């Protein structure tokens, strides 16, 4: 499992790097169902002022279109940054079984940092959460992005 997790997370990291090149916050996501990639996305909030343009949301939409179903049971989402409240809610609604994320988001993370929504026993669905796969690479990309952004504003 660990080698597969690294493989899929490296693909999510590649998508995050593509977002970086488009001057978007570098977050990438890959959704795997039944051993195949069914959804993918990278942040696209700046592209058309998309409120819902988070990598996870785009990956969920891509997967549901490809599979012809909004229920994405028996699937795993790999994402470079811990999902926010909005994305965690969508993952719960889509019935995703597992989320693997790279680094924590201390300001908005809803799976470990600020909340543990995916594992809340009051909800009718729970998500298994694993963290830390390629965390340094994911965090480093985000750090570089925001350092460059601050420098360009000076």
56 is catalytic: yes
Asked if residue 78 lies in contact with residue 86, where contact means CB atoms within 8 angstroms, the answer is: no
Asked if residue 99 lies in contact with residue 75, where contact means CB atoms within 8 angstroms, the answer is: no
Quote the pLDDT of residue 2: 86
The pLDDT profile of the chain, 154 residues, written as one tens digit per residue, is 689 999 999 999 999 999 999 999 999 999 999 899 999 999 999 988 999 999 999 999 999 999 999 999 999 999 999 999 999 999 999 999 999 999 999 999 999 999 999 999 999 999 999 999 999 999 999 999 999 999 888 7
Quote the pLDDT of residue 87: 98
Quote the pLDDT of residue 48: 86
For the whole prediction, is pTM greater than 0.85? yes
Of the listed 24, 34, 56, 65, which one is catalytic? 56
117 closest CA partner among 142, 150, 144, 83: 83
Burial of 11 (0-12, 13-18, 19+ CB in 10 A): middle
């Amino acid at each position: 499992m660990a080698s597969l997790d690294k493989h899929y997370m490296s693909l999510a990291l590649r998508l995050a790097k593509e977002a970086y090149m488009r001057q978007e916050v570098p977050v990438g996501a890959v959704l795997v169902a039944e051993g195949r990639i069914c959804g993918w996305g990278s942040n696209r909030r700046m592209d058309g002022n998309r409120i819902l343009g988070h990598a996870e949301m785009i990956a969920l939409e891509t997967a549901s279109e490809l599979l012809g179903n909004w229920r994405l049971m028996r699937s795993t989402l790999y994402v470079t940054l811990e999902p926010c409240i909005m994305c965690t809610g969508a993952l719960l609604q889509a019935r995703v079984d597992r989320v693997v994320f790279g680094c924590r988001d201390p300001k908005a993370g809803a799976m470990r940092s600020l909340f543990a929504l995916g594992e809340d026993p009051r909800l009718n669905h729970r998500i298994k959460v694993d963290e830390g796969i390629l965390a340094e690479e994911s965090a480093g990309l985000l750090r570089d992005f925001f350092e460059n952004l601050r420098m360009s504003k000076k």
